[in-house]
Structure 1
Amino acid sequence: MTAIYISGGVSGGHLSPAITIMFYIFRGFPKKKILVYIFAQLLGAYIGSLVAYGVYRNCILNYLGSKPDQMTQVYNSFVTNRIEGVADAASGFLTEFVATAFMSIAVLASGDDSNAPPGAGMNAFILGLVVSILTMAFSASTGAAINPARDMGPRLALITVGFDRHELFGDGWWVYGAWCAPITGAIVGAILYDAAIFVGGESPVNYPSQSVKRAGRKAKARWRHRFTRKGR
């Protein structure tokens, strides 16, 4: 929530690669800025994880010193993983897919002028509340990544401070669970929202084929200005 307040006026408050990609497909976000945004998101998560590790370093090392077999618990404090015996690969993927679809719908609804958008300054609070609820609802089986950067940044940070690379990237969860599921979930969530609620011209769901270019030109410019402040 705080991060959206801080960065929302400058960049639109994109904190997730899944949301950035969704905005590119459905709201005309500039293609040339996708990689820049994703890099910034990963960098922010990476630095934040290093700060968190620095604050709790002694506690972590003391804990591992007394319980060396609890390394997984330390990893799970930073990154997401499907919990053995609770979620298999399919249900883990579905968990992240559904959670991010809900998140995508909430993000689009909060910025939809034709719906009932929140008042000035309320977007960050509402989206922060949505993330908190989704985390409580879906974290039991996977940790609720929802945001690919929230998983990848901490993984890279743990490697930087000396943790085992093979344990952090040994299975495919970080690919299919933390990246593929949130991205596809965000896209499907946007399709559902645009098909059922959204009436703007910038969505390919409402204006397929060549019509999207003609009908969505002005609307895309408005969204581009909103999320990149190009007009400043």
Structure 2
Amino acid sequence: MIYYFENLMRHCGLKYGICKEFLAEFLGTFVLVLFGCGSVAQTVLSRNQLGEPLTVHIGFSVGLMMGVYVAGGVSGGHVNPAVSLAMVILGKLKIWKFPIYVIAQFLGAFAGAAAVFGLYYDAFMDFTSGILSVTGINATGHIFASYPARHLSILGGFIDQVVGTGMLVLCILAIIDGGNIGAPKGMEPLAIGLIIMAIGVSMGLNCGYPLNPARDLGPRMFTAVAGWGFEVFSTAGYWWWIPVAGPMVGGVVAAVLYYLLIEMHHKRDAPEKSDDEEEEEDEDEDEDSSLKDKYEMILMN
């Protein structure tokens, strides 16, 4: 029986690394959205009886932590196109893998939103009386995607996303940087989850800290086809592109700043010399010593 299962796993196992990375990013992002959007759904649909803002912060923090634990050993656990783009810029991810990672992340977020909707379908119908809307007293669109507060302008929202995502990527780069203090092996996802907690309690007022194009646009696309309609894109002056473009810019800015201010100043170990180079140096030293001996003999005479 054991031989049968080992043989089955050998035949079913993927041979190409990029396929494994695709599945890892898909599942990691799915976990992030399921826990994150699920915590928002529980808070909203219970009318704050089984949740509060801190509940949402914990949901997304633990969701990201577990998503990175799920995918980290296979793909690095980016679960965010902005993080993947930063890794491309720093040479930590091959550029041809970038679109594959992004597609996996969007599909994972879409599937996570679908899972939340299916899990709470009866609660949605009871809360909304079957009318799914983005605005109004029984609005539920914000369970899945971000929408701006009344005071927030388009420019303010864009800056909010650039700064928030920039801090996320900057701290992630510090955590995984072997030349910096870093985090103990295996504790990196926990530290990354704490970053989201810090951002949530300090930068969540404006639009709820989406910070992730896949996490926002994937569920938004799900709501568009699941009954909320095109309103999910047109609301708030077509806000939808802000949590997509802003995080990408923030990721690039953070990658450049971290490299210029931190990473490029690490002490670099001298490159190891080949055997031929070492032999040449030994020969040169022997020649120098012999010439020195001859010079000393001439002086003595």
Shorter-chain TM-score category? 0.7 to 0.9
- Return the structure number with greater relative CO, CA threshold 8 A, min gap 6: 1
Q: 1:120 Cα shift? A: 0.9
Matched residues, percent identical?
28
Superposed, 1:73-84 pairs within 5 Å as: 73-84=139-150
Superposed, 1:85-100 pairs within 5 Å as: 86-100=151-165
Q: 1:64 Cα shift? A: 1.3
Q: Distance in 2 between matches of 1:46 and 1:114?
A: 36
Asked if the contact 1:103–1:130 (Cα under 8 Å) also holds between the matched residues in 2, the reply is yes
Q: Deviations over 1:169-221 (max 9, x none)?
A: 1143221x1111101111111222112111279xxxxxxxxxxxxx9xxxxxx
Helix, strand or coil at the partner of 1:140: coil
Helix, strand or coil at the partner of 1:134: helix
Superposed, 1:172-191 pairs within 5 Å as: 172-175=238-241, 177-191=242-256
The correspondence for 2:216, drawn from 151, 158, 163, is: 151
Asked if the contact 2:170–2:254 (Cα under 8 Å) also holds between the matched residues in 1, the reply is yes
Q: CA RMSD in A?
A: 2.1
The correspondence for 2:104, drawn from 29, 33, 40, is: 40
Q: Kindly provide the amino acid, as one letter, of the partner of residue 145 in structure 2.
A: V
Q: Distance in 1 between matches of 2:107 and 2:183?
A: 29
Helix, strand or coil at the partner of 1:155: helix
Q: Deviations over 1:63-85 (max 9, x none)?
A: 1129976377311111001112x
1:6 corresponds to = 70
1:27 corresponds to = 91
Q: Distance in 2 between matches of 1:11 and 1:47?
A: 19
Number of residue equivalences? 199
Q: Deviations over 1:115-171 (max 9, x none)?
A: 11111111100001101221222222111110111101111211232221x201114
1:127 corresponds to = 192
Tell me if 1:196 matches 2:261.
yes
Structure 1 residues 13 and 66: alpha-carbon distance in aligned structure 2, compared to 1, 3 A threshold = closer
1:58 corresponds to = 122
2:113 corresponds to = 49
Q: Distance in 2 between matches of 1:9 and 1:124?
A: 11
Tell me if 1:102 matches 2:167.
yes
1:16 corresponds to = 80
Q: Distance in 1 between matches of 2:210 and 2:204?
A: 8
Structure 1 residues 75 and 182: alpha-carbon distance in aligned structure 2, compared to 1, 3 A threshold = same
Structure 1 residues 15 and 66: alpha-carbon distance in aligned structure 2, compared to 1, 3 A threshold = closer
Structure 2: state its 5+ residue gaps: 1-64, 272-301
Structure 1 residues 63 and 28: alpha-carbon distance in aligned structure 2, compared to 1, 3 A threshold = same
Q: Distance in 1 between matches of 2:77 and 2:265?
A: 21
Q: Kindly provide the amino acid, as one letter, of the partner of residue 226 in structure 2.
A: V
Q: Distance in 2 between matches of 1:200 and 1:130?
A: 24
Structure 1: state its 5+ residue gaps: 202-214, 216-232
Q: Deviations over 1:74-131 (max 9, x none)?
A: 11111001112x2111111111110001011111111111111111111100001101
